[in-house]
Structure 1
Amino acid sequence: MLRYTLSRLLSLSISLAVASLVIFLVIEILPGDPAVLMLGVNAQEDTLAALRDQLGLNGSMLTRYVDWVGGMLVGDFGTSYTYRTPVADMVGDRLWVSLPLAIYALTLSTVIAFPAGIWAASRRGSAADVGVMGITQLGVAIPNFWFAMLMVVVFAVNLRWFSAGGFPGWDEGFWVSIKALTLPAVALALPQASILARVMRSALVDTLSEDFVRTARAKGLTRSQALWRHALRNALIPVLTIIGMQFAFLLAGGIIIENVFFLPGLGRLIFQAISARDLIVVESVVMLLVFAVVMVNFMVEIAYALVDPRLRRR
């Protein structure tokens, strides 16, 4: 297990190094002067020179890359030109919205998808199976932003059970904050739950047809016992992959939902930074999101080894 973990850590480190280089080069090869992009073509030359000096654009490309990576390693992500605030502080504030939202949505997705997928697989070919697959197909087809706006109309405008948007802050109380995140979490969770349920059902159906399951049935186990004791654990590998991908998507890809509900999260921060051409914020936040995605994939691979001991010997 130690050798497997170390190999995965090495792969993680290489992925982060390559990602940082790609992100830096993409920003560097943007046509035109970054200072002109941020301030506009009508900016005065002395203002442009001051911004170039502030961003360290006067040094060589290698020096700027080393300074940027070295700063991130010690928690210094630079200062936003638009907000005049350290990027680390901005990310920290917004992470307390995006991270709970992603965890909340993923929890809802898993709680919905696992029973639905297992139930459909255990009744393969029945009306229940067809019904679950039909509902999940509808969930995949409906855009989450349209579903979010529909929920705002129903639950916020008409029924007044939830607020239409905004986030009160965790200082206002845990349940008040969770209530504010409920509609966005449901809007994010339902399409992901539909995908996860279909993967869970497909993996279980394939596993239930394996020889070891038939052997277990021949030894006297019922279909339900064989499913829960043997098939389910062996079907978790593709399911864990999807869960890892979903968490990365929910953390980094909630920009539309965060804008629909006016949530001050990372997705909205990136949107605002791109609109304001605040390149240092875009560069740093994208790198942080890449780090989150790589870390989630690392944890999923460790979970693989825990679920399937055969992987530890590779």
Structure 2
Amino acid sequence: MLRALFTRAVSLALSLGVASVVIFVLLQAVPGDPAAFMLGLNAQPDTVAALRAELGLDGSLADRYLAWAGGMLTGDLGTSYTYRVPVADLVADRIWISAPLALYALGLSVAVALPAGLLAASDRGGPADWGTMAATQLGVAIPNFWFAMLLVLVFAVTWRLMPAGGFPGWDDPLAAIVALTLPAVALALPQASILARVLRSALIDALDQDYVRTARAKGLSRRATVLRHALRNALIPVLTILGLQFSFLLAGAIIIENVFYLPGLGRLIFQGITQRDLIVVQSVTMLLVAAVICVTFLVELAYVLADPRLRRP
């Protein structure tokens, strides 16, 4: 057990190290000079050189990477070229929008997918199964940004039931939750569809196993057999999808946050790209990649809890 945890922890550290190198090199290879971009087309070369020195852009690639990576380890994400404030402060302000939005969308996804997957698997080949699979296929096919605009058109413009965008802050929790509802629904639709299909397939495989037939032969009802025996053994692929979904919802909401004008991490990255603020882009991207890797690590630990066979050395 401890050996398996140590192996996974080493893999986690190596993944973070490789990811930091890849992100830094790719962003540094992007054409264009941030200093020249900030000063404009008519800037004098000596002014550009002075700003490059101020921003730390005149050092070697290795020195800049070591300074950035060392700062990340100590919590120093650098200073934004555009806003002239620490990137950590920008992240701290915006994580309180992106993280609740991701959790909200994940909760909606599970709330929809769990009963849908159970219903489809319990009525294998029946009307409920066909209807659920058709609905999930439609949910996977619809782009979430198009669905987001449709939600705004219906619920905000036509019916005027929900706000079209913006975020009022957490001083009024109810207003904040209302503001995040449409974005969360737009993010949750494709994820719920994928999760429902995976759960259905895993449950169908589990229901064909001998232990399920034995439970049924002993007089256990089909519903009890599904909930007590098949569902737990079908959780391994579901946990995998849940981990990937949370990572996607946290790191992949750039378009949705821009549709609803939410000042979250996705919108911060988008603004950093348009403003050529490399330190913001690479630091926030690294944080999101680290979140993805750490969630994957936690999912692997959940495997061990869900399946006792994986606790063996």
- TM-score bracket, shorter-length normalisation: over 0.9
Aligned position for 2:76: 76
Structure 2 CA distance, aligned partners of 1:112 and 1:180?
20
Moved more, 258-267 or 219-228: 219-228
Structure 1 CA distance, aligned partners of 2:216 and 2:54?
70
Structure 1 CA distance, aligned partners of 2:24 and 2:200?
41
Aligned position for 1:104: 104
Structure 1 CA distance, aligned partners of 2:116 and 2:175?
30
Displacement of 1:34 after TM fit? 4.8
Matched, 1:304 2:303: yes
Instruction: Please list, as runs of the form range in 1=range in 2, the aligned pairs for 1:1-314 lying within 5 A after superposition.
Output: 1-31=1-31, 33-36=33-36, 39=39, 42-171=42-171, 173-314=172-313
Per the alignment, do residues 26 and 133 of structure 1 end up closer, same or farther by CA in structure 2, a change over 3 Å counting? same
Gaps of 5+ in 1: none
- TM-score by length of structure 2 reads 0.96
Displacement of 1:57 after TM fit? 2.3
Structure 1 CA distance, aligned partners of 2:203 and 2:179?
36
How many residue pairs are counted as aligned between the two chains?
Answer: 313
Amino acid at match of 2:294: M
Structure 1 CA distance, aligned partners of 2:193 and 2:32?
44
Structure 2 CA distance, aligned partners of 1:150 and 1:294?
33
Amino acid at match of 2:211: F
CA RMSD of aligned residues (A): 1.5
Moved more, 225-234 or 24-33: 24-33
Structure 2 CA distance, aligned partners of 1:83 and 1:276?
10
Structure 1 CA distance, aligned partners of 2:299 and 2:5?
12
Q: Secondary structure at the match of 2:168?
A: coil
Q: Percent identity?
A: 69
Displacement of 1:95 after TM fit? 0.6
Structure 2 CA distance, aligned partners of 1:180 and 1:11?
39
Structure 2 CA distance, aligned partners of 1:110 and 1:4?
29
Displacement of 1:32 after TM fit? 5.2
Structure 2 CA distance, aligned partners of 1:251 and 1:241?
16
Structure 2 CA distance, aligned partners of 1:53 and 1:194?
51
Gaps of 5+ in 2: none
Contact 1:38 1:279 in 2 (8 A): no
Contact 2:240 2:299 in 1 (8 A): yes
Q: Secondary structure at the match of 1:170?
A: coil
Displacement of 1:149 after TM fit? 1.1
Amino acid at match of 1:74: T
Amino acid at match of 1:109: S
Displacement of 1:15 after TM fit? 0.3
Structure 1 CA distance, aligned partners of 2:5 and 2:50?
47
Displacement of 1:41 after TM fit? 5.1
Deviations 1:73-120 (A, max 9, x none): 111111111111111111111111100000000000001100110111
Contact 1:109 1:192 in 2 (8 A): yes
Structure 2 CA distance, aligned partners of 1:40 and 1:305?
55
Contact 1:137 1:194 in 2 (8 A): yes
Q: Secondary structure at the match of 1:80?
A: coil
Contact 1:133 1:198 in 2 (8 A): yes
Displacement of 1:56 after TM fit? 1.9
Contact 1:304 1:311 in 2 (8 A): yes
Q: Secondary structure at the match of 1:125?
A: coil
Per the alignment, do residues 312 and 51 of structure 1 end up closer, same or farther by CA in structure 2, a change over 3 Å counting? farther
Amino acid at match of 1:223: R
Structure 2 CA distance, aligned partners of 1:7 and 1:246?
24
Structure 2 CA distance, aligned partners of 1:257 and 1:70?
32
Per the alignment, do residues 32 and 267 of structure 1 end up closer, same or farther by CA in structure 2, a change over 3 Å counting? closer
Per the alignment, do residues 241 and 81 of structure 1 end up closer, same or farther by CA in structure 2, a change over 3 Å counting? same
Structure 1 CA distance, aligned partners of 2:66 and 2:100?
32
Structure 2 CA distance, aligned partners of 1:38 and 1:304?
48
Structure 2 CA distance, aligned partners of 1:43 and 1:199?
56
Q: Secondary structure at the match of 1:83?
A: coil
Structure 2 CA distance, aligned partners of 1:271 and 1:66?
25
